Amino acid sequence: MSRKIKLGILGGGGDSLIGVLHRVAANMFDKYEIVGGVFNPNFKENIEFAKTLGLNSSRIYEDYESLIEEESKLNSSEKMQVISVLTPNFLHYPMAKKLLENNFHVICEKPLTTTYKEAIELQQIQKEKNAVFAVTHTYTGYPMVRQMTKMISDGIIGDIQKVDAQYLQGWLNPIIHDKNKRSSTWRLDPEKSGSSCCLGDIGTHAFNMVELVTGMKVDKLLADLNTLYEDNQMDVDANILIRFSNNAKGTIRSSQIATGEENNIRINVYGSKGALKWEQENPNYLYQLSDDRPLQVLKPGHSYNSKISLDGTKLPPGHPEGIFDAMGNIYKGVARAINNETYDKAEFPAIEDGVRGMDFIEKALDSNSKGNVWVELNK
């Protein structure tokens, strides 16, 4: 029986949804053993939370620097091999940088960093260290997103002509209209959130989804962003036109002030021979359209699906697969990479995807600040 990968976690303590999501995902396929970390900046709360997880307090540290120093002293059979970074955005870069420099693999929440320059630096270190580095664009782990990606790469819908992606939420709506509330949430604080709120938090998911499923890179974009109030520095709504190098065009719309919306991420891809549509709030349905046949609905778990889709399916047909399963699929792919096993590049978003996301954010902000003009993404 193979030894489990020893996993440490930075952030995600208390009632953090993202913390629960990562811990469940890590345990899903019996590939990892969570051995410790820094769950909370308050050491006393950090220890208490670790006790609720049944962890040995000797592997709970005051800060990430202490974690790296002490874990590096352990022999290879005991030390943490990979660290998940679940902290607010401004901490991603310094934590990931020091982890890479000290030969840890990294699983990092998005956005990868707060600037494109930082993202490029992390990518260079990752290549030098030959480390596994995953960016958790969770929705790429859904079986039917993987099926969509494979069908498009196989040419099922022909040449891509148009892409329409959206990620709409409404959670910020009750906060943005209250001056005190909008000045106190970290998501709207550029010191903690970085240069973008809406694009950094959810717009990058839609952008990543577009490039993943189409297999193409966005060449240019034109962005129109909204901060809603003059005293708010951060974007809370974004409408972006995109162009690919093959004359295909599309839209990426993201918003955190879409009143009443919950977690509405959706992507439609239209080709010369057909189209595919998927939405996260109904993730078990992949819709295939064409000019000359009735609408087809594909569902996970059936033998007609691709190998990578079936590999990401844990339940028989008719049993819903959800976001925990999607994140679990990403952790499974990372485990294969760490163990030097064969894996498909679509099994987890890599550091390159995080770098692309940061370029997307900065170019969208640039386009908006220059009066909504076309700007070119880096190749």
pLDDT digits (tens, 9 = 90+) for 69-106: 999 999 999 999 999 999 999 999 999 999 999 999 99
Helix (H) or strand (E) holding 38: strand 32-38
Over 80: is that where the pLDDT of 339 sits? yes
What pLDDT was estimated at residue 318? 80
First to last CA, the chain: 43
pLDDT reading at 2 higher than 70: no
Contact 36, 59 (CB under 8 A): yes
Residues 6 or more apart from 108 whose CB is under 8 A from it? 84, 85, 92, 96, 133, 134, 135, 136, 354
Amino acid of residue 210: V
Q: What is the mean pLDDT of residues 306-315?
A: 90
- Contacting residues for 366 by C-beta, under 8 A, at least 6 apart: 375
Q: Is the dihedral of CA 168, 172, 173, 177 positive or negative?
A: negative
In the chain, list all ranges with CATH 3.30.360.10: 143-314+351-369
Domain with CATH 3.40.50.720 in the chain: 5-138
Closest C-alpha among 14, 79, 19 to residue 42: 14
Mean residue pLDDT across the chain = 95
How far from 327 is each of 80, 224, 301, 323, CA to CA, in Å? 20, 31, 18, 6
In angstroms and rounded to an integer, the radius of gyration of the C-alpha atoms of the chain is: 21
Task: Look at residue 238 in the predicted model and tell me its pLDDT.
Answer: 98
Taking residues 325-337, report their average pLDDT: 95
DSSP for 276-306? EEEETTSTT-EEEE-SSS--EEE-TTSTTS-
Taking alpha carbons only, the member of 352, 374, 354 closest to residue 363 is 374
State the fold for domain 143-314+351-369: Dihydrodipicolinate Reductase; domain 2 (3.30.360)
Q: What is the pLDDT of residue 1?
A: 44
Element of type H or E holding 70: helix 64-71
Rounded CA gap, 332 and 122, in Å? 23
Answer for the pair 256, 201: CB distance below 8 angstroms, yes or no: yes
**How much is the average pLDDT of 127-135?**
98
For 216, other C-beta atoms within 10 Å of its C-beta total: 17
Do residues 331 and 29 lie in contact, with contact meaning Cβ atoms separated by under 8 Å?
A: yes
E strands in 126-236: 133-135, 160-168, 218-226
Q: Which two tokens stand for residue 141?
A: 């782990």
pLDDT higher than 80, residue 379: yes
Q: How far is CA 288 from the centre of its chain?
A: 25
261 CB-near residues (< 8 Å, 6+ apart):
168, 169, 170, 255
The arithmetic mean of pLDDT across residues 146-164, rounded, is 98
183: phi then psi, degrees, rounded to nearest 5: -90, -5
Summarize pLDDT for 166-184 with one digit per residue, the tens.
Answer: 999 999 999 999 999 998 8
> What are the structure tokens assigned to 60, written together?
């709970």
Q: At what angle do helices 92-101 and 64-71 cross, to 10 degrees?
A: 10
CATH, domain range 5-138: 3.40.50.720
Mean pLDDT confidence for 57-75:
97
Question: What is the sign, positive or negative, of the torsion defined by CA atoms of 255, 256, 258, 261?
Answer: positive
Q: What is the mean pLDDT of residues 218-226?
A: 98
